[in-house]
Amino acid sequence: MQSAIFILTEVGVCPERTPAVGAQKRVGDRMRIDLKRNCRRRGRTGGFSLIEILIVVFVVMVVAAIAVPNVLLAVANIRLRASAGDLAGLMQQARIMAAKNNPQTPPVYAIQYAVLGGKRIAYIDLNGDGSWSSSVTVNGVTLSEPLIELSGTVVLAAGAPSGSGGQPGAYVLAGDTVIGGASFDNTKTIAFTPRGFPCDYTSPPTCNTPAATYFVHYLTDTRVGPAGWAGVVVTKAGRTKIVNWNGSQWN
């Protein structure tokens, strides 16, 4: 019996049914019966049935169907807000550079939009030629025109949203006096004077300040479901802020 126990311990496998060898004690018989029962029990619980696997796969698919759209929506919102933040930063950079460099030709620094290497960009037009330049000279210093790249499927909107067809209404800046009943949107070119004020540079070289109203340049994107919207607001004093459409209001 001791040799049998030693063999089971060393090999680590369930014993096969073997005929009794000689007269054995009841203790030995009971031990072999218990070992066989334990082996049968381990054999039944050692894996997963096909039904169990199918249930797990079904649960994973349900969770994925719920989670994936939410993840994609969150990623789209992050990209849209990041692009709006980059654009707002570029506008503030143009304002600071205009105040610092006191531009003469052109008399202002305008924000322009273009496609560069297949990427949608916004840039500060330092030399006023209407295209991005990798090398310009400003006050004796050679540099490339500052630019930002719009993220993912984010694009500059054609204009203010219409408020119909799934689009939000145009953003209204509370407390700002609007002459003419509307703000300057993407159809107007925003530029900054040496005094740091924004102006409408749609028809150069005219760029009167103070501007008649504030600016809102809108960004939109392509995503699952309705398109996202964000805006970069520039007040008549030159301050900027970002607004996002949450599906029911601007915030």
**DSSP state letters, 211-230:** -SS-EEEEEE---SSSPPEE
d(C-alpha 84, C-alpha 151), whole Å: 10
- pLDDT value of residue 48: 84
- pLDDT value of residue 11: 44
Give one word for 126, left, alpha or beta, with left for phi > 0 and alpha for psi -120 to 50.
alpha
Cα–Cα distances in Å, from 34 out to 11, 18, 43?
17, 15, 14
- pLDDT value of residue 2: 46
Positions of the chain with pLDDT lower than 50, given as ranges: 1-13, 17, 23, 27
- pLDDT value of residue 206: 87
Which tokens go with 150?
């719009």
Residue keyed to tokens 């900054």: 192
Q: Which amino acid makes up residue 248?
A: S
Is there a contact between 223 and 80 (Cβ–Cβ < 8 Å)?
Answer: no
d(C-alpha 240, C-alpha 111), whole Å: 14
- pLDDT value of residue 24: 52
Q: What is the pTM of this model?
A: 0.76
- pLDDT value of residue 4: 44
Instruction: Give the count of beta carbons closer than 10 Å to the beta carbon of residue 110.
Output: 22
- pLDDT value of residue 179: 52
